[in-house]
């Protein structure tokens, strides 16, 4: 297995290979980001506030361009709140006005109250610029790996290590 | 060349390909099943009150309570790939400045029996729900809605704090189909393939009443809603 290490040309090729895999993944992600006009075009559901539609670990595909219609009431949007790190996936239930200045109120389908309490202090409504994208497609469960990885950080190190080792040691 | 690692990798790769193709196939079957949603919606008793619409409201403002009747047939939206149907009614109006406003006044989550176990319900309600479609994985009859003089779940407000005597308000029925896998769909204005646009589903224009004074509020409400509900029973 370690015979590959004897040839420096081989090692270089393997490292290149590993780099290629990483950069391809990165380019696809960023490419999708440009197409969807969203900083994170794919998100994993982290909470149960939209149950039974979305469970923890489900994968959502986002779209942030208003090609045919504006973001409107009934759309499920992912938004960021100032000074809070985790984006939230909830449904728009009220919209006052239109365009960039429209005031939007969201609510989780599984929550009793709307999101006023989740917004920043003194903030009563969202603006269009707070929104990262609207949910257009859904794949169940696939994202659960990322929840495991973030809840058990050692898994991340272990997986990266194994992957790197395997790619480097892999012989064609 | 044929280490156990590459074998594992191949098996996993093949598994993901098969799963992806199967998922895409299931999602694509949605396009083949006809959708013929329809609904009739009309308002019953409407009130505008000044107060705190929520326990966490910081200021007193005017809010409208719109009771409505709804008869809808959304049964064609239930297929094997339907996880839930989210049905909602919005009130739509235009402010004097020409800006559009829209607010959900009522909503309902209708699960397909395949997703019943995911609902957030107490044990008794859950048992009842599961029993209502025993042995079935698709329950189109759940898409038949019949509401009479329904109390709204949400009172509508406006950021300006004023909403009384707003003219040209309509109620509109909407739906959102949540699939098990694939694209989320909402009600459409134009037909697409075998998916028809919603037939009806919009109320007549109405005007919100003037602000109701606090005295005699309870008594008035009772009288009005009872006479109204009697009226709505007539064809």
Tally of domains in chain A: 2
Residue range A93-129, pLDDT digits in tens: 999 998 888 999 999 999 998 998 899 988 889 999 9
Q: How many residues does chain A have?
A: 172
| Cα(A146)–Cα(A40) distance, integer angstroms | 14
- Under DSSP, the state recorded for B33 is S
Task: Report the residue from B101, B176, B178 with minimal CB separation from A96.
Answer: B101
Q: Is residue B230 part of a domain?
A: no
**Chain B residues within 8 A of A74 when measuring between CB atoms:** 88, 90, 104, 174, 176, 186
Cis previous bond, A52, omega within 30: yes
Residue with tokens 């390909």: B17
pTM of the model: 0.86
* Residue of chain B nearest A95, judged by CA positions: B102
For residue A77, the tally of other CB atoms under 10 A from its CB is 23
Task: Check whether residue A59 and residue A2 sit in a common domain.
Answer: no
Range of the domain at A25: 1-36
What is the model's pLDDT at position A169?
73
What is the model's pLDDT at position A21?
92
Residue range A23-58, pLDDT digits in tens: 999 999 999 999 999 999 999 999 899 999 999 999
Distance from CA of A46 to the nearest CA of B (A): 16
For residue A125, the tally of other CB atoms under 10 A from its CB is 18
| Cα(B225)–Cα(B67) distance, integer angstroms | 9
Bridge partner residues of B154 (DSSP):
none
Task: Check whether residue A30 and residue A108 sit in a common domain.
Answer: no
| Cα(B64)–Cα(B46) distance, integer angstroms | 7
**A138 inside 8 A of chain B by CB:** yes
- HSE (side-chain half, CA atoms, 13 Å) at B15: 7
**A141 inside 8 A of chain B by CB:** no
Torsion sign across C-alpha atoms A43, A48, A51, A55: positive
Task: Check whether residue B9 and residue B77 sit in a common domain.
Answer: no
What is the model's pLDDT at position B68?
96
Tally of domains in chain B: 2
Q: Is A49 a catalytic residue?
A: yes
What is the model's pLDDT at position B60?
87
| Cα(A75)–Cα(A65) distance, integer angstroms | 13
Judge: A139–B88 Cβ closer than 8 Å, yes or no.
no
What is the model's pLDDT at position B31?
93
Helix A8-36 vs helix A153-169: crossing angle, to nearest 10: 130
Q: Is A98 a catalytic residue?
A: no
Interface predicted TM-score (ipTM) of this complex, two decimals: 0.85
Q: Is residue A134 part of a domain?
A: yes
Q: Is residue B228 part of a domain?
A: no
What is the model's pLDDT at position B175?
97
Bridge partner residues of B109 (DSSP):
B86
Bridge partner residues of B147 (DSSP):
B70
Bridge partner residues of A29 (DSSP):
none
Residue with tokens 């149907």: B85
For residue A124, the tally of other CB atoms under 10 A from its CB is 11
Cβ neighbours of residue B112 closer than 8 Å, sequence gap 6 or more? B78, B82, B83, B84, B85, B137, B138, B139, B142
For residues A71-85, average pLDDT? 92
For residue B104, the tally of other CB atoms under 10 A from its CB is 24
Task: Check whether residue A77 and residue A123 sit in a common domain.
Answer: yes
Q: Is residue A172 part of a domain?
A: no
Residue range B57-83, pLDDT digits in tens: 778 899 999 999 999 999 999 999 999
For residues A81-93, average pLDDT? 91
Task: Check whether residue B28 and residue B107 sit in a common domain.
Answer: no
- HSE (side-chain half, CA atoms, 13 Å) at B152: 26
Distance from CA of B100 to the nearest CA of A (A): 5
**Mean confidence (pLDDT) of chain A:** 89
Residue range B52-64, pLDDT digits in tens: 887 777 788 999 9
| Cα(B198)–Cα(B205) distance, integer angstroms | 18
Judge: B100–A97 Cβ closer than 8 Å, yes or no.
yes
Catalytic-role residue among A49, A58, A130, A134: A49
What is the model's pLDDT at position B52?
85
Range of the domain at B8: 1-32
Judge: A110–B102 Cβ closer than 8 Å, yes or no.
no
Judge: A73–B103 Cβ closer than 8 Å, yes or no.
yes
Task: Check whether residue B39 and residue B25 sit in a common domain.
Answer: no
| pLDDT of A1 over the 80 cut | no
What is the model's pLDDT at position B224?
43
**Chain A residues within 8 A of B178 when measuring between CB atoms:** 53, 138
Q: Which residue ranges of chain B lie beneath pLDDT 50?
A: 215-235
Q: Is residue B231 part of a domain?
A: no
**B192 inside 8 A of chain A by CB:** no
Cβ neighbours of residue A59 closer than 8 Å, sequence gap 6 or more? A42, A43, A44, A45, A138, A139, A140, A141, A142, A143
Task: Check whether residue B168 and residue B121 sit in a common domain.
Answer: yes
Task: Report the residue from B84, B86, B184 with minimal CB separation from A135.
Answer: B184
**Chain A residues within 8 A of B182 when measuring between CB atoms:** 137-138
Task: Check whether residue A118 and residue A69 sit in a common domain.
Answer: yes
CA torsion A154-A159-A165-A171 (nearest 10°) is 170
What is the model's pLDDT at position B234?
39
Catalytic-role residue among A38, A115, A130, A134: A115
For residue B137, the tally of other CB atoms under 10 A from its CB is 11
What is the model's pLDDT at position A18?
87
**B182 inside 8 A of chain A by CB:** yes
Q: Is residue A153 part of a domain?
A: no
Q: Is residue A164 part of a domain?
A: no
Q: Which residue has the higher pLDDT, A140 or A4?
A: A140
| Cα(B95)–Cα(B162) distance, integer angstroms | 11
SS3 A166: helix
Q: Is A115 a catalytic residue?
A: yes
Q: Which two tokens stand for residue A4?
A: 């590959």
């Amino acid at each position: 297995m370690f015979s590959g290490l004897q040839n420096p040309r081989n090692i270089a090729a393997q490292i290149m290979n590993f780099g290629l895999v990483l950069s391809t993944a990165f380019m696809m992600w960023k490419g999708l980001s440009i197409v969807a006009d969203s900083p994170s075009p794919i998100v994993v559901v982290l909470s149960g506030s939209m149950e039974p539609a979305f469970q923890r670990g489900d994968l959502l595909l986002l779209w942030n361009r208003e090609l045919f219609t504006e973001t409107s009431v009934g759309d499920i949007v992912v938004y960021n709140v100032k000074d809070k790190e985790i984006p939230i996936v909830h449904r728009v239930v009220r919209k006052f006005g239109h365009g960039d200045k429209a005031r939007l109120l969201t609510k989780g389908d599984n929550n009793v109250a709307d999101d006023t309490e989740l917004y920043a202090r003194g903030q009563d409504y969202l603006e269009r610029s707070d929104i990262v994208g609207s949910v257009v497609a859904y794949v169940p469960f696939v994202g659960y790996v990322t929840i495991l990885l973030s809840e058990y950080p050692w898994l991340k190190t272990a997986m990266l290590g194994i992957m790197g080792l395997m790619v480097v040691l892999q012989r064609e | 060349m044929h280490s156990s690692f590459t074998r594992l990798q191949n098996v996993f790769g093949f598994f993901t390909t098969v799963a992806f193709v199967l998922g895409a196939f299931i999602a694509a079957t949605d396009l083949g099943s006809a959708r013929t949603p329809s609904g009739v919606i009309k308002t019953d008793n409407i009130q505008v009150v000044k107060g705190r619409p929520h326990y966490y409201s910081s200021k007193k403002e005017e809010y409208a309570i719109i009771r409505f009747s709804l008869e809808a047939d959304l049964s064609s939206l239930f297929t094997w790939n339907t996880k839930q149907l989210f049905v909602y009614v919005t009130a739509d109006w235009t402010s004097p400045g020409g800006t559009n406003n829209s607010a959900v006044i009522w909503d309902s989550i209708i699960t397909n029996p395949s997703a019943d176990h995911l609902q957030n319900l107490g044990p008794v309600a859950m048992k009842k729900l599961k029993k209502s479609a025993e042995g079935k994985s698709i329950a189109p009859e759940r898409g038949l809605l019949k509401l009479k003089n329904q109390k709204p779940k949400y009172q509508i407000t406006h950021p300006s704090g004023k909403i009384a005597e707003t003219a040209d308000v309509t109620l509109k029925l909407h739906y959102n189909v949540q699939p098990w896998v694939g694209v989320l769909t909402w009600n459409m204005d134009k037909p697409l393939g075998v998916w028809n646009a919603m037939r009806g589903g919009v109320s007549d224009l109405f005007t919100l009443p003037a602000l109701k004074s606090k005295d005699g509020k309870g008594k008035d409400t009772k009288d009005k809603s009872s006479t109204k509900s009697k009226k709505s029973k007539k064809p």
